[in-house]
Amino acid sequence: MKYISIIAMAIAMCGAGRGGYACTGITLKSTDNSLVVARTMDWSREELNNMYVIVPRGRTTQSVLPDGRSGGVEFTTRYGFAGLAVEQPEFVIDGINEAGLGAALFYFPGYGKYVEYNPDYNDKTLADFQVVSWILSQFSTIDQVQAAIQDVRIVNVDTRTTTVHWRIVESSGRQVVLEIVDGVPHFYENEIGVLTNAPGFPWMVTNLNNYVNLHPGTAGPTNIRNLHMAAFGSGSGLHGLPGDMTPPSRFVRAAFLQSGAIPQDTGYQTVLQAFHILNNFDVPVGAQFAVGTAPNNMPSATQWTVATDMANGTIYYHTMYSRAIRSIDLSQIDFETVPYQAHPLDMRHAETITAAPYAGK
C-alpha cells in the first residue's frame, strides 16, 4: 500500500483547532420511514484528493502501520460497499454497505486516546483511517461491530496526529458513536443523530441543556409594564442559537435546525432537505484564519457534502466545485462481479453554469 506524508495533515480535516476543519453530521427520517444520514467534510488548508470507491466482495485488504508499511490486520470483504474517501482509496471517510450498515469518520482532537502502537501486535493493528472500510466490509449490525472491536488495536495512521471518532448507523434507525478514550472503546447510543467533533459526545448532548429556551417559530409578544415588545421578524424563537464554527456550537445549531425540519414523504426528498440544512454549515476558507493568512484560495473549506438514503442504499453528494448532486445506487451494483475501483469526485474543477432560457434579445 502506498503511504503518503500528506495524511498527517489530512487526518486533521474534520475537527476544531488552529483553523481548518469543521465537519457536521445530521440525521433525518421521512414519513415513509426512510433514514437519511448526511454530513459535511471540511478541510481548509489544501485541496484533498477526494474520490469515491466501490469495493466488491472477496477483496482482501491489509491495514497500514504507523511506519507506513502494510502489515496490520488483514480482512476480506464479506459485504460489498461504496463510499467517499480522501487521499487513498483505503481511507474511506463515509459510506454504506450492501447489508444496510453505514459508517463515517469525524475528527476528535484532544479528547480521545488510542492504545500505544506495539509491533508485537501487528496482526491485530488497525489504522484509524481504515476503520470505516473495516466496518463496512465485515459487518451488518452495530452489535457485531461492538463485539469485534475488542479483537483489534486501533492506532493512529500517523503517530504525529490526534484521534478521530466514528458514527455507525443501521438502516433500522439505530445509530451509535464510537469514541476511544485512554485506549478503551466506548459506544454511545446517538438518539439525537447529530455529530461534530470535540469534546466527547456525552458532553455535547449535556450542553444542549444550555439552550432549553430556544424553540422554532417566533418568540413573544410580551409586555414589560407598559412597554409592548414584539419580535423584529420570524424565527426569533431561535434567537441565541450559536452561529460560530466551533464543534459545540455546530452541534447545537445542527440539533435545532434538524429538529425543526418538516418531515418529507420519501427518502429522496429527505436527501434534498438534508443538503439544504447542511448549507448552513458551509465554511468559507478565509473564515478560519486570521486576515491575510489563509493558505489557499479554494472555493470552500467544505470540500464535499454527502447524504445517504439508508433505506434505499443510495449515496448522494456534491462538492465545492459542483453543486450538482451525483448519486451511487448500491442496488445497481453487483458486488460479486464489479471490479474494485476509485474515481475522482470531480472530473473538472469548475462549476457548470447554464444560461436561463428567455425570449427576445
First-to-last alpha carbon distance for the chain, in angstroms, is: 58
- The percent of the chain in helix, strand and coil, each rounded to the nearest 5, is 20, 30, 50
Q: Cα separations (Å) of 237 from 212, 220, 230?
A: 11, 8, 12
Distance CA 297, CA 303 (A): 12
Q: What are the b/e assignments for 35-57, b being 16+ CB within 10 Å? A: bbbbbbbbbbbeebbbbbbbbbb
Rounded to whole angstroms, the Cα distance separating 41 from 354 reads 27
Mark whether 14 is an active-site residue: no
The grid coordinates listed for 341 are 475501483
How many CB atoms neighbour CB 268 within 10 A? 18
Paired residues of 100 in beta bridges: none
How does DSSP assign 232-267, residue by residue?
Answer: SSTTGGGTT---SSSHHHHHHHHHHHHHTPPPPSSH
Alpha carbon distance 243, 197 (integer Å): 16
The amino acid sitting at 196 is: T
What is the phi-psi region of residue 172: left when phi exceeds 0, alpha when psi lies from -120 to 50, beta otherwise? alpha
Q: Which set of grid coordinates corresponds to residue 354?
A: 447554464
What is the DSSP pairing of strand 125-127 with strand 153-155?
parallel
Rg (CA), the chain: 21
Which entry of 16, 23, 53, 320 is annotated as an active-site residue? 23
- The grid coordinates listed for 265 are 414523504
Whose cell is 448526511? That residue is: 38
Query: Which residues form the catalytic set?
Result: 23
